[in-house]
Structure 1
């Protein structure tokens, strides 16, 4: 599909957008003096206000709290100490929200803030509550602004970058499009030219640039992974330069800006998005060729007979990754056995489960209703 067709058919008709803005866009260059770039924030607010009046529902994922806090606290570079990072975020989040509030007020939009950790998406109930809260904020005429809760997040629960938060939010809301605004024109090829359309994200990994700003944590690799999570669910993603004049308005008119990512043909429902693309796995099952074909090509449940290896410690109901004989991830699912039980019955027919476990067991290790196959591997 040509990029122009994809944009016209999938991006332009989208009405619920998740827009992510990085720290490098929200803060001024070093030679301009430290602080938030209020001119950029005003321009962004004007675009959001215009689109809102046109009937779009926009959810903003915003970085910049640490950078804004460091400026107010007189810290010249991003701290490495966790407590200092948390303090800077606590100060900066208030400063950032004040600027957004003031910039959006002329357009009749209020601002609602959600500070989240990775655990909020791992838990199914919290995952649904995020969607319910954002939906209500839209109904009340507010712009939902989401950010990682840097003031309490620690290494085990932090997103690592708000690109991932934006992707998880897109899937939680079932928004039709994710727009990642950054300081480059899009994904660049080996000649430094913008890749207009990406049909297979995995094939583009070698094109990733590793440069990053001194304030932000992300890079093109996290943006590609975020685009993958969204396109796997059947939605469109775009990476574009945030300082391109009226970039949001032009994108939503179908103009060829940045890099557009082709979505899979299927659209996952909310539960499948949570299982396959959101909740973090607790273990891994390796399977043989027959089991891989049954799961991927025929949509079957995963049986113990085809399992060749089990890694990790997990309980019944945990999320596990399923890998084929080549080590490729082919799916994720909620398992009916804990890790010790799974090791005990792997390779066996179900009529031997009672003998091995000392009790009756489930025929399926992962039932097909609790198993999500990756779109990149599915052939049906």
Structure 2
């Protein structure tokens, strides 16, 4: 991933740098803003000197623009330039309209990254600002794909009325996630695993298959020093074997009962919530109806392969450790996925890299070639 921008007040920033910083700011709210979008904001003076930055911290709390401009005096806002990752909101909801607030300020211009995806209000925020004589333009530069990534969950939710699916894979250099006997602790480093806890908090729910529960007995909660959050946990257990088991599992002790959902394909008697599903697409539709806007798939091989085969993964997070396990005694994360010809291969787009020594992390949007 790109090196972070950390300007001091008064430092010069180009338009690209300002929007890049706004994107950087937006991700700070990733664990807490759902179902709202991630939004970041940067304010420069008329000479493009850095004044302040802000982001949407939490659902129901002030938006990014408010977080940025309340750090400044009226004098500092005179002829200021505002860079925000998403069109300022036109509507009044849990918080006042940001567009109306900006329109009342003596600004030079407003640059927004993406138009509001809600067709009922798209363009209205920009129009409110323009009507007061302030220049308000949609950004059209090299960071456009990064802006789409920042807002990807919200965009899919609005455009398709569907739950966003991310998947996390921790693998060896040769693509194995475990030994054939299920042993997998630990392939990747402590640094990688800590970042996984942050990623886990970015999404509304974690999805795992029954075999992962039986083999690893994982906790699957968010354990991060700066994040307090309890996600939904969805266990894909078609035959209800875990519910009928007398074995003690960590996740049942750690997670609140109302946050655990079993996805089954037969009638099961239990105090836990169950969803009877026909296929993964049907399961996601039911999760959408429960207002679960995004899910984080964490294995195992059959679960990954099922989502790959159905073409349901929107984003892939891959952690690769510099070790080789061997396919003879290993288990590939795509073990049960296949394509008839190379023309059907899946490709990562707008790929970003980062090192969690000694592991390499990459992420991108997963698409058909």
Q: TM (normalized to structure 2)? A: 0.30
Say which structure is richer in strand: 2
Q: TM (normalized to structure 1)? A: 0.29
Say which structure is richer in helix: 1
